[in-house]
A and B are shown apart, each in its own frame.
Chain A
Amino acid sequence: MLKKDISDYDVFITKNDKINENYYLLGISRPSGFDIMAGQFVNIKIEPNSIQPFLRRPFSVFYLDKYEIGILYQIKGEGTKLLSTKKNGTKLKMIGPLGTSFPLEDSFMKNIDGVFLIAGGIGIAPLFFYANRIKAKYEYLDINLIYGIRDGGFLLPEDYIKYYFSSIFFSLERKKVYEENIYSGCNCKFFEGNIFSALNSFEFDSLIKKYNNPIFAVCGPDPMLKAFIEWNKDKYFESYLSLESFMGCGFHACLGCAVPKSSGGYIYLCEEGPVVYYKDINLQ
């Protein structure tokens, strides 16, 4: 994506629905000519005419259709709390598309025989969009989802999740309560604990052996990403991580979104991220 494609768009809310106990699904009007790749983000001014909240809020995209940009969010602070109160038709300002994306080039994908998406909580958002884009171009590829959530209050409605995945491994902190009730049609397995209860399981081990050249796309809280890098240390799976950080501008003017590089110094998530190759960063 060339920098010249970045713009500050006037957009409006097309929907803002609470879809489970914790997540909201925001729809915003898709500006003419606007495109975005899976993993990239937009930076939204929730109150365009107010200085409070002051900064824009970065969001990765959950889906993109002809007229609408879908954003999955969770109330985490003042900005998202305010966003959750906004009605259809509310005007927002949106800068995008910003940052790097998950790999989707033919030259890369032709060597891949399976995809593993590892999501922690709201980290499902860019991975869901990635799954959509992979299936649109490479229908033959298996996509497996490992999805760590606290409890059933974080589950996405079945409609959102059932189309793309060959198998889903759920890691739930309170497994038993939900096991029987969710996603009747999918090839689901349930584990108790964090995502590593699934990743270290016999079932996962059997599944991964089916693939010679899988890639991993991972998005979740920093401690999860750090633990994933550690887990992958002796496995060397090709992995791309989507990171988050406090962000000032989102377009590389302030250098506020620094993350330590493995070779020393910092990368900036607004330009060299949010999607990074796992070997390139040194999470602390």
Chain B
Amino acid sequence: MSLLEVKKGKLNLKNPILTASGTFGYGDEFEPFFDVSLLGGITIKGTTLNPKDGNPPPRIYEVYGGMLNSIGLANIGINQVIEKYSKYFLSLINSGCAVIININGEKIEDFLKIIEISDSTGCFNFYEINVSCPNVKKGGIAFSQDPKTMGKLINKIRKKTKTPIIVKLSPNVQSISPYVKSAEDSGADIISLINTMKGISIDINSKKPRFKNIYAGFSGPAIKPIALYHIYEARRSTCLPIIGMGGINNFNDMLEFFAVGADAIEVGTMNLVNPTITYELLIELEKYCENNKKPLSKIKEELTQWMKQ
């Protein structure tokens, strides 16, 4: 068994380092910088049934400790994703790098159709159901308005496919526990969190919000403490595997996520700033395990000891 292997429930990865949807394109954008297949997995851009133009500019604005984005799920649609990238995804899978598709829809049928198409290709290891995008008017976070609505969606998807389902949760809720429980009861295999937080920036010269949608998704190092809190809450609510993300910027950040119960982590916005960050984290983690002469599973056990006391 490799030092870095992750094996918990349906979450089987060669290492715990993944990339967050929307920050890693389709993976091949990063090939000029490092061998992407070394990662535990990649999560591709949020995908819809039909191509989606996304929101009008501006879509990005830097704020202290991170950035706001209002991309609005711009993507080429599931059929073009398969057409353009299936060969690349299969090559990643053959190298042991999991490929996760982040699935979005305005209505339940959209999700089911994407899953039907995806199932027929075999080029995805996991389906990440996005019920937490804050930047679209229909779908997205609307499925997180209450745990019951979300559970209904997950339940229908569960009946449709045997591929492991990840549910990506929003931090824009009062308490995450009911959502975690609903996802689990409805047949989800894995929980991932957090998506971006809602945020606003005002241009004081024009006296107007910078984004046409008024609010946008806040991400980056500043949101890490909030992510850690929600993952801690989720960990106390479920035994399902958890993929944690939100503001990971360095090695110690990653260990903090393991310390609140994440089984694997995703790097998000930092990929845009430092395209080799996931590779650097992987090398550091490998060295850390070797120097400590312990597999990652043992290190995680020690890091989460405080939660059991």
Mutual binders A and B: yes
Interface residues of B, count at CB 8 A: 37
Q: Determine which of A7, A51, A246 lies in contact with B60 in the assembled complex, contact meaning CB atoms within 8 Å.
A: A246
* B56 & A254 in contact (Cβ 8 Å cutoff): no
* CB–CB B32/A3 < 8 A: yes
Partner of B272 from A3, A51, A53, A248 at Cβ < 8 Å: A248
- Whether a CB of chain B sits under 8 angstroms from the CB of A257 is yes
**A61 interface hit (Cβ, 8 Å):** no
Contact of A30 with B by CB under 8 A: no
Select from chain B the residue with minimum beta-carbon distance to A266: B53
Is B271 close to A, CB under 8 A? yes
**Chain B residues in 8 Å Cβ range of A253:** 23-25, 29-30, 271-272, 275
- A7 near B58 (CB under 8 angstroms)? no
**Cα–Cα distance between A44 and B155 once the two chains are bound (Å):** 46
Which residues from A are CB-within-8-Å of B29?
249, 251-253
Q: Tell me which of A3, A51, A266 contacts B54 (CB under 8 A).
A: A266
**B66 & A54 in contact (Cβ 8 Å cutoff):** yes
Interface size on A, residues (CB 8 A): 34
Q: Which residues of A contact B67 (CB under 8 A)?
A: 54-55, 248
Known: A45-B273, A55-B67, A254-B69. A247 touches B53 (CB 8 A): no
Contact A254 B33 (CB under 8 A): no
Contacts of A88 on B, CB cut-off 8 Å? none
A8 CB within 8 Å of chain B = yes
Whether B71 pairs with A255 at a CB distance below 8 angstroms is yes
Interface residue from A54, A255, A256, A260 paired with B273 (Cβ < 8 Å): A54
Q: Does B199 sit within 8 A of A, measured CB to CB? A: no
B96 CB within 8 Å of chain A: no
Residues of B within 8 A of A52 (CB): 64-65
Task: With CB as the reference atom, state the residue of chain B lying closest to A271.
Answer: B29
The number of residue pairs between A and B whose CB atoms lie closer than 8 Å in the complex comes to 104
Min CB distance A157 to B, Å, is: 32
Is B221 touching A254 in the complex (CB atoms < 8 A)?
no
Does B74 reach chain A (CB closer than 8 Å)? yes
Q: Is A258 positioned at the interface, with any CB of B under 8 Å from its CB?
A: yes
CB distance from B276 to the nearest CB of A (A): 6
- Which residue of chain A lies nearest to B30 when distances are taken between CB atoms in the complex? A253
Closest CB in chain A relative to B104 CB, distance in Å: 14
Kindly report which residue of chain A lies nearest to residue B69, judged by CB atoms. Answer: A256
Q: How far is the CA of A5 from the CA of B276 in the complex (A)?
A: 16
Q: Is the CB of A54 within 8 A of B53?
A: no
- Contact A259-B25, Cβ < 8 Å, known A52-B65, A55-B272: no
B-side contacts of A265, CB under 8 Å: 53
A233-259 near B? 1/0 per residue, CB < 8 Å? 000000000000111110111111111
* Residue in chain B with minimal CB distance to A48: B274
Q: Are B275 and A249 neighbours in the complex by a CB distance under 8 Å?
A: yes
B40 within 8 A of A: no
Please give the distance in Å from B4's CB to the nearest CB on chain A: 24
Are the C-beta atoms of B65 and A54 separated by less than 8 Å? yes
Identify which of A53, A55, A93, A258 contacts B59 (C-beta below 8 A): A258
Contacts A246-B58, A246-B60 known; 13 new A-B pairs at CB < 8 A: A54-B67, A54-B220, A249-B273, A253-B23, A253-B24, A253-B272, A254-B23, A255-B59, A256-B60, A257-B59, A258-B55, A266-B57, A284-B56
Q: Can you give 5 A-B contacts (C-beta < 8 A)?
A: A54-B220, A248-B272, A251-B32, A253-B23, A258-B59
